[in-house]
Structure 1
Amino acid sequence: MHVEGTILRGRAFEPVEGRVVVEGGDVVAVEETTTDSDAIVCPAFVNAHTHIGDSIAKEAGAGLSLDELVAPPDGLKHRLLRAASADEKIEAMRRSLRFMERSGTAATVEFREGGVEGVAAIREALDGLDIEATVLGRETTAAMAEADGFGASGARDDDFAERRAATREAGKPFGIHAGERDPHDLTPALDLDPTFLVHVVHPEPEHLDRIEREGVPVVVCPRSNLVTGVGSPPIADLLDRTTVALGTDNVMLNSPSMFREMEFASKVGSVDAADVLRMATVNGADLVGLNCGLIEPGRAAKLLVLDGDSDNLAGARDPVRAVVRRAGVDDVERVIL
C-alpha cells in the first residue's frame, strides 16, 4: 500500500510531496513525486503520560488542589475509582482509548492505578483496539510484574527503592512524577535512577544540570499543570538539556487530545513547532522503545493523514506549524495503525 500527500519526512519533518510506501506494516520508502493529494501525512502520536482510569469522572473536582484531586490514597480520583465497578472503569477507559485512536494516537504510556487488577483492566479495555499501551503498574511490585514497567507517584512521601530495584531486575522502564508542585522531590527522584521523569515544573539549576549530565528524559504535561495550578514547565530549558516528550495526563482533567496539547505547548511554552511535533511523536516512542514516531524506512507504519484542504487547514503555508498549532480531530482523514 502507499499513502500520498505532503509527507513530513524524517526527524526534521521535512515536507516533501510524494508517497509513503508500506509493506508488512513498515515504511519501506518515502518517494518524492507529484501527486493530486491535499493530504498532510505525519507520524501518529505517542502520548507519553496518561492516567485514563479516571475517565469515569471527567471534569470532576473543579477548584480542588492537586493533592485533593489526585494524591494517593484519598484524592478525589482515588475515591471515585474505588467507588466505581470494574465494568464501569473498563468501559470508560475503552471510550477514551477509542477517542485517542481516532484522533491519531498510536501509543500511550499509561500510569495504571489499581495494582494487578488495574493492569488487567486496561488490558481488557485495549482488547480489539489498534492503539498500543505501555502499561506502568503502580503501588506494588506484583503490579509491575504484570505490567510493562512501574509508574511511581513521587518520591516525596514514599520510598520506592525496593520497587525500583525489582523493576531494574526485570529490565523494565521506571517512570516517576517529580517537581510537579515544588522542587523538593526532584533530587530523591533522580537518586532512583529513573528511566524518565514526569512534569518537572519546578527544577532548580542543579536539577537541570543533573538531568542533562545523567541523560534523564522528561515528560511534560503543560495543560494539566495549568489546571492544577502548579505552574508551567520550562519546556525550552528542558529541551536544551534532554529529550522531552509530551503527555496529556489525567483524563479527569483534560481531553487526551495530542492536538490540544501540542497547540498549548507551542503557544504558551514558546517552543518551535518541529520540537513540539518531535515531543508528540518520536520522543515518546524512544522513551519506551517503540519503533514508531517518524516517517522513514524501517519504522512501523503508524501514520496520521490530515485533510490539508479542510476549512481549517486550507491555505496553510507551513505544514509542520499547521499540524502543531492549528490542526484538530475534525481534520483527521485517516489513521493508519
Structure 2
Amino acid sequence: MQIEGIVLRGRGFDPVEGRVVVEDGEIVAVEETTTDSDDIVCPAFVNAHTHLGDSIAKEAGSGLSLDELVAPPDGLKHRLLRAATDAEKITAMRRSLRFMQRSGTTATVEFREGGADGVRAIRRALDGLDVDAVVLGRETVAAMHESDGFGASGARDADFTSERAATREAGKPFGIHAGERDPTDLTPALDLDPTFLVHVVHPEPDHLDRIEREGVPVVVCPRSNLVTGVGTPPIADLLDRTSVALGTDNVMLNSPSMFREMEFAAKVGGVDARDVLRMATVAGADLVGLDCGVIEPGRPAKLLVLDGDSDNLAGVRDPVRAVVRRAGVDDVQRVVL
C-alpha cells in the first residue's frame, strides 16, 4: 500500500511531498517524490487522558463546580455511573470510541472507574475496534491487576501509597491527577514517584523545578480545565521542563476530539503548532510505551490522511499549522489503523 501527499515525516513533522510505503501494517519507507495528491498524511493521534465511562452523561452538570461534577465518591459523574447499567455504559463508551477511531485516534490512555468490573466493561466496548487503549484501573489494587496500570484521582482524595507500591511491583504505569484546582496536591502527588501527572494547571516554581529534575511527564487537558473553571495549564512553561502530552479528559464535558483539543491548546496556550502536534501524537505514545505517533520506517502504520483539497484546507501554506489549528473531522479522508 502506498499513501501519497504531503507527509509530515519524523518527530519534527517535516512536510515532504511524497509517499508512505506500507507493507503488512508497517511503514517500510517514506519516499520524497512528485505526486498529484493534495492529501496531508500525519500520524494518528494518541489521546493521553480520557474518562470514557462519562459518555453516558454528555453535557450534564452545567454550572456545577469541579468538585460537584467529578469528586469521588459523590460527584455527579460518580452518581450517574452507579445508576447506569453495564450495558448502558458499554454502549456509550463504544460510541465514543467509534468517533475517536473515525476522527483519527489510534490509542487512548483511559482512567477507568468501576473497579475491575469497569475495566472489563471497557474491554468489551473496545472489542472489534481499531483503537488501542491503555486502561488504568481506579479505586482498587484488583482493578490495577485487571488493567494496564493505576489511575489515581488525586492526592487530596486519598493516600495512594499502597496502590503505588502494588503498581510498581506489578511493573505497570501509575498516573495521578494533580494541580487541577490549586497547587496543594502537587507535592504529595510527586512524592508518589508517578509515571505521569495529569492537569498541572497551578504549578509553583518549585513544582516545575522538581518535574524537570525528576523527569515526570505531564498530560494537559486545557478544554476541560476551562469548562470546570479552574483555569488553563501553563503549557509553554511545562514544555520547557518536560514531555507534555494532550488529552480530552471527561466525555461528560468535552467531545473526545483531538482536533478540537489541539486547536484550543495552540491558540490559548500560545505554543508552536509542531509542539502541539507532538503532544497529540508521539508524546502520548511515549508516555505509556506505545510504538506509534510518528511516521518513519519501522513504525506501525498508524496514519491519518486529510483531504488537503477540502473547502476547509484548500490553499493552506503550512500543513502542520493546518492540522493543528484548522482541520476537523470533516476533513478526514482516510484513517489507517
TM more than 0.5:
yes
1:191-206 correspondence runs (5 A): 191-206=191-206
CA contact (8 A) 2:105 2:131 kept: yes
Q: Does 1:218 align with 2:218?
A: yes
- The equivalent residue for 2:166 is 166
- Note the aligned Cα RMSD (angstroms): 0.4
1:64-213 correspondence runs (5 A): 64-213=64-213
Residue 155 of structure 1 aligns to a residue whose secondary structure is coil
Distance 2:165 2:23 in 1: 40
- The residue type paired with residue 163 of structure 1 is E
Distance 1:163 1:334 in 2: 41
- Count of equivalent residues: 337
Deviation, 1:20, is 0.4
Distance 2:216 2:93 in 1: 30
- The residue type paired with residue 223 of structure 1 is R
Deviation, 1:23, is 1.4
- The residue type paired with residue 101 of structure 1 is Q
Q: Per-residue CA shift, 1:30-85, capped at 9, x if unaligned?
A: 00011111100000000000001010000000000000000011000000000011
1:201-280 correspondence runs (5 A): 201-280=201-280
Residue 172 of structure 1 aligns to a residue whose secondary structure is coil
1:52-71 correspondence runs (5 A): 52-71=52-71
Deviation, 1:157, is 2.6
Distance 1:326 1:234 in 2: 22
Distance 1:331 1:253 in 2: 24
Residue 187 of structure 2 aligns to a residue whose secondary structure is helix
Distance 2:159 2:298 in 1: 41
Structure 2 residue runs of 5 or longer lacking an equivalent are none
Deviation, 1:149, is 0.4
Distance 2:276 2:135 in 1: 24
Q: Does 1:316 align with 2:316?
A: yes
Q: Does 1:336 align with 2:336?
A: yes
Distance 2:29 2:194 in 1: 36
The normalised TM-score by structure 2 is 1.00
Q: Does 1:286 align with 2:286?
A: yes
Deviation, 1:299, is 1.2
Distance 2:10 2:327 in 1: 20
- The equivalent residue for 2:303 is 303
Distance 1:300 1:210 in 2: 34
Deviation, 1:25, is 1.2
Distance 1:171 1:84 in 2: 33
Distance 1:2 1:178 in 2: 43
Structure 1 residue runs of 5 or longer lacking an equivalent are none
